[in-house]
């Protein structure tokens, strides 16, 4: 398993190290859970679907962790080797390099990586952020409104949806982003350490980290994602060769993730315990992370339009370069075959 190197100063504070999510578990969903009841019978003689799954180290990855640790992959005869990375963009990079078969990432990261040589295909949207899933925290008394960010230092996770969130925030409030000092950091641990050391004045804080941030003197919450006019959506991507080689296995993979989505909604406490076992993420923080996401396996025209909107805005504002048609990088067939009612793409 790949484990991101986190800044030692705050490893215990943010508790995202010590990942053990690659271990295999035969634990079944809770008694009476609809996830267990909905699992389709898979012939014992059917060959296992072997897949290398790339996930991030945040609540965005919980569907995959539940499918693994609650035994749903087992019930669909799926042999999933899970590798954990810091952010969704890292899972895409790993899949492009051939280190994994699948990736999960937010719309900005997805939009930034498509090119003619990219064999990754969007299979489904798997989550949408809640506005309260992230809050803007500052510890500089001079920052009282968006215009006060001019000349200040902000913590930014480069090439992730976080960078796009900052850009949309400044655009909405008429602030020249070129007059703000971007401090690029590679993990939540680094952001927390920089914030505590007064190396940055502000950063966007996910729900699972708010308790720790509120313990830092002078921290103030300026508001939630409604300040940006943008709610990020998360997507599942898979290598086109894998889809062509084993379409039935891919369909079982989607069904297992759909059952995991149901499990999360019906058993948040058990999901939080799985997150603790996998990521050493405190249970209370994991529960907040679950509330910050709307988990759902689907693919709508609105989902694809959002990727296109993010891509076009990012190209016009110099964040990414390559213009393309998103439909060239979408495969509707697996989800249509597995869960036909979840596909509502019209164009």
Above 60 in pLDDT, residue 335? yes
Please give the CATH topology (third level) of the domain spanning 131-227.
D-Maltodextrin-Binding Protein; domain 2 (3.40.190)
Number of alpha carbons in the 13 Å side-chain half-sphere of residue 33 = 23
pLDDT tier at 347, thresholds 50, 70, 90: confident
Residue 22 scores a pLDDT above 90: no
- For residue 319, name the pLDDT band (cuts at 50, 70, 90): confident
Q: What are phi and psi of 177, to 5 degrees?
A: -65, -20
CA gap 248, 245 in Å, rounded: 9
Closest among 61, 290, 58, 94 to 188, alpha carbons compared: 58
Q: Which residue has the higher pLDDT, 330 or 318?
A: 330
| Domain span(s) for CATH 3.40.190.10 in the chain | 47-129+231-344, 131-227
pLDDT of residue 110: 94
User: Does residue 200 contact residue 154 with C-beta atoms inside 8 Å?
Assistant: yes
Distance CA 114, CA 92 (A): 10
Q: State residue 39's pLDDT score.
A: 45
- Could you tell me how far CA 304 lies from the centroid of its own chain? 17
Exposure of 129 in the CB half-sphere (CA atoms within 13 A): 24
Architecture of domain 47-129+231-344: 3-Layer(aba) Sandwich (3.40)
Report how far residue 187's alpha carbon sits from residue 262's, in angstroms, rounded to the nearest whole number. Answer: 29
Confidence of residue 187 (pLDDT cuts 50, 70, 90): confident
Instruction: Tell me which of 29-33, 148-152, 241-245 is least confident.
Output: 29-33
**What pLDDT score was predicted for residue 46?**
75
Q: Is the pLDDT of residue 11 over 90?
A: no
pLDDT in tens, 221-265: 999 999 999 999 999 999 999 999 999 999 999 999 999 999 999
What contacts 24+ positions apart, CB below 8 Å, involve 265-269?
A: 265/295, 266/30, 266/33, 266/34, 266/35, 267/29, 267/30, 267/33, 267/35
pLDDT band at 219 (very low <50, low <70, confident <90, very high): very high
pLDDT at site 116: 66
Q: Mean of the pLDDT values across residues 146-150?
A: 96
Handedness of CA 37, 39, 42, 44 (dihedral sign): negative
Q: What would the mean pLDDT of 188-205 be, rounded to a whole number?
A: 94
Check residue 35 and give its pLDDT.
Answer: 42
CB 205 within 8 A of CB 137: yes
More confident residue, 16 or 337: 337
Judged against a pLDDT cut of 60, whether residue 38 lies above it is answered with no
């Amino acid at each position: 398993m790949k484990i991101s190197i986190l800044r030692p100063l705050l490893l215990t504070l943010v508790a995202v190290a010590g990942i053990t999510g690659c271990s295999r578990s035969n634990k079944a969903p809770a008694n009476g859970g609809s996830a267990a009841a909905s699992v389709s019978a898979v012939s014992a003689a059917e060959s296992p679907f072997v897949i290398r799954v790339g996930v991030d180290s945040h609540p965005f990855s919980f569907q995959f962790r539940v499918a693994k640790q609650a035994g749903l992959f087992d019930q669909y005869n799926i042999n999933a080797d899970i590798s954990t990375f810091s952010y969704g963009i890292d899972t895409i990079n790993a899949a492009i390099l051939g280190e994994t078969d699948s990736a999960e990432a937010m719309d900005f990261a997805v939009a930034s990586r498509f090119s003619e040589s990219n064999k990754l295909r969007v299979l489904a949207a798997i989550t949408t952020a809640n506005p309260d899933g992230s809050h803007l925290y500052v510890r500089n008394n001079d920052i009282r409104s968006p215009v006060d960010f001019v000349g200040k230092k902000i913590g930014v996770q480069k090439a992730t949806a976080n960078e796009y969130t900052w850009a949309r925030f400044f655009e909405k409030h008429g602030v020249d982003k070129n007059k703000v000092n971007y401090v690029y950091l590679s993990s939540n641990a680094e952001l927390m350490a920089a914030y505590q050391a007064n190396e940055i004045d502000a950063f966007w804080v996910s729900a699972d980290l708010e308790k720790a941030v509120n313990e830092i003197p002078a921290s103030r919450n300026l508001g939630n994602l409604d300040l940006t006019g943008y709610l990020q959506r998360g997507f599942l991507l898979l290598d086109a060769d894998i889809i062509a080689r084993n379409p039935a296995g891919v369909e079982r993979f989607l069904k297992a993730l759909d059952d995991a989505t149901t499990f999360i909604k019906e058993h948040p406490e058990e999901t939080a315990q799985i997150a603790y076992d996998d990521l050493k993420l405190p249970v209370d923080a994991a529960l907040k992370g679950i509330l910050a996401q709307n988990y759902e396996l689907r693919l709508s025209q609105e989902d694809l339009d959002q990727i296109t909107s993010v891509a076009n805005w990012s190209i016009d504002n110099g964040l990414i370069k390559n213009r393309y048609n998103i439909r060239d990088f979408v495969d509707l067939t697996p989800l249509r075959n597995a869960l036909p009612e979840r596909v509502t793409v019209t164009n």
